[in-house]
Amino acid sequence: MDVVADPLLNVEEKRSILRNWAWNEYLVDLATGEGMPENERPARLDEVGLALLALERGIAAANLAVSTAEKRRNAA
C-alpha cells in the first residue's frame, strides 16, 4: 500500500492510518456477515494487514541496523 512508502508520513501516522483502515474493513466484513448487503468493492482487510506487517518489519529492520551500528562503534 502506498501509505507504507509515503515519505511525508512518520511511522506513527502510517500506523494510525493503517489501523483505522483495518478497523473499517473489519466492521464492513462484520456487517456483511450479519446480513448487510454487500457493496461492490473488494474486501481489503488482508491487504491492510499485510501493509501493517510490512511497516512493522521495516521498523524492526531499521532498529536492528541502528543497534548493530552502535555496537560496532562502541566496540571500536
Secondary structure of residue 4 in the 3-state scheme: helix
Q: Structural domain of residue 22, as residue ranges?
A: 2-75
**pLDDT score of 32:** 81
Question: Could you give the dihedral angle defined by the CA atoms of residues 63, 69, 71 and 72, in that order, rounded to the nearest 10 degrees?
Answer: 160
Do 28 and 43 meet the contact criterion of CB atoms below 8 Å apart?
yes
Joined grid coordinates for residue 30: 462484520
What would the mean pLDDT of 29-46 be, rounded to a whole number?
Answer: 78
Among 50, 60, 52, residue whose Cα is nearest residue 20: 52
Average pLDDT over residues 43-53: 88
Average pLDDT over residues 50-76: 80
Task: Give the chain's domain count.
Answer: 1
Continuous H helices in the chain: 2-5, 11-33, 45-75
Q: Is the pLDDT score of 22 beyond 90? A: yes
Quick one: pLDDT band at residue 15, thresholds 50, 70, 90? very high
Residue scoring higher pLDDT (70 or 6): 6
